[in-house]
Amino acid sequence: MKEFKIVTDTVFEMDGIKYQFDVNGIDIQERFLENPSLLFQHIREKVIGYWEFIRKEANAIFAIPNFDNDTFSQEIADKVKRGSLKSASSGILLKEGMLQENGVILITKSELFEASIVSIPAIKDAMAVNLHFALDSVLTLSDGNKINSMETYLNKIKKMEKEITNEVIIEPVEIVEDTKFETLLSEKVELNLKLNEKTNEFNILAKSNEELLLSLNEKVKEVEDLKNQISNLNDEKKEDLLDSYVEKGVISKDEKSDYRELSMDKIKSILDKFATKEVSIYASLRKDRIANTDSEMTIEDYIAKGKSAELKRTNPALYEKLINKNK
């Protein structure tokens, strides 16, 4: 991917005032390297990736964009690759400046807080600038005098509709501190920066939650598959057990269906009694009990009497109740 100059020491003009950056005086550590968000056209809602391989030289700061995989970000990436977009613009907080004899304000201390891909550069070298003034910014005039609140001072100069020259700037100008305006501007810059940070945190959290949800769904599916396997295995073992009783002549093939809904332990407890020598005594006692009180009959009673199939057909609700009671 193409390397961009996101800041240079080229002289540029904004609102009739000429500026130039001292690149060595640009702080990139405090905010930019911690959160090198890549925006489009300085729009905080349009985070399209991040900057990497950031390096500072004597006359410029360079970086390479790494684009996100969403559709819009990839569209911008394609335009960059084709050369349709080839300009970068930096968001910089001005802290200290010095008016030079040529009328250019040299920004000696500033802070880089974001960089964007833009469609139209403001100056040559494919670089644009989005300037913000710090609340406590200071402008040093060519005679050494210091002016607090650089932005307020320059706004008043522009308001006078005079060309910014050394002679004009050093004219006595009465400055009324607009504390409320400066405070609001500073707060706006801080809020924008915090919003960008929170947006990135949200995107990271959303991606993490999505991955966690996918992983959880996979685990749920694995558990359901395992339950089905266990259920199938139990059914197979139960069928083998019933087949063994059929082979022993304890029950017939047709009677197997009467026992399938019982647990394996219950099947054994019932049929093992019929498989013993006392089967005739047990069956006789069971039939006597059945004859005396139908209201107390259990599923074993119906089976012993040979009426479980009839019960299932004529009274499925009672059949289901007795089966569940013995599970």
What residues make up the domain containing 202?
188-248
How many domains does one find in the chain? 3
Task: In whole angstroms, give the CA distance from residue 54 to residue 35.
Answer: 12
pLDDT-based confidence at 295, cuts 50/70/90? Answer: low
Collapsing DSSP to helix, strand or coil, 10 comes out as coil
Residue range 177-201, pLDDT digits in tens: 444 555 665 666 677 777 777 777 8
Between these two residues, 290 and 198, which has the higher pLDDT value? 198
Q: Under a CB-based contact definition with an 8 Å cutoff, are residues 19 and 104 in contact?
A: yes
Q: Tell me the mean pLDDT in the region 153-167.
A: 51
Task: In whole angstroms, give the CA distance from residue 140 to residue 36.
Answer: 31
**Which of 127, 142, 177 corresponds to the end of one domain?**
177
Q: Is the pLDDT of residue 256 over 90?
A: no
Query: Is 28 in the same domain as 79?
Result: yes
Residue range 17-61, pLDDT digits in tens: 888 899 999 998 878 888 999 999 888 899 999 999 999 888 899
**Which of 248, 263, 298 corresponds to the end of one domain?**
248
Q: What pLDDT, on a 0 to 100 scale, did the predictor assign at position 180?
A: 53
Residue 183 within any structural domain of the chain: no
Q: Tell me the mean pLDDT in the region 192-215.
A: 79
Q: Is the pLDDT of residue 85 over 80?
A: yes
18 DSSP 8-state letter: E
Average pLDDT, the chain: 76
Q: What pLDDT, on a 0 to 100 scale, did the predictor assign at position 148?
A: 66
Between these two residues, 159 and 62, which has the higher pLDDT value? 62
Query: Is 166 in the same domain as 205?
Result: no
Residue 142 within any structural domain of the chain: yes
Residue 133 within any structural domain of the chain: yes
Task: In whole angstroms, give the CA distance from residue 93 to residue 317.
Answer: 80
Query: Is 41 in the same domain as 139?
Result: yes
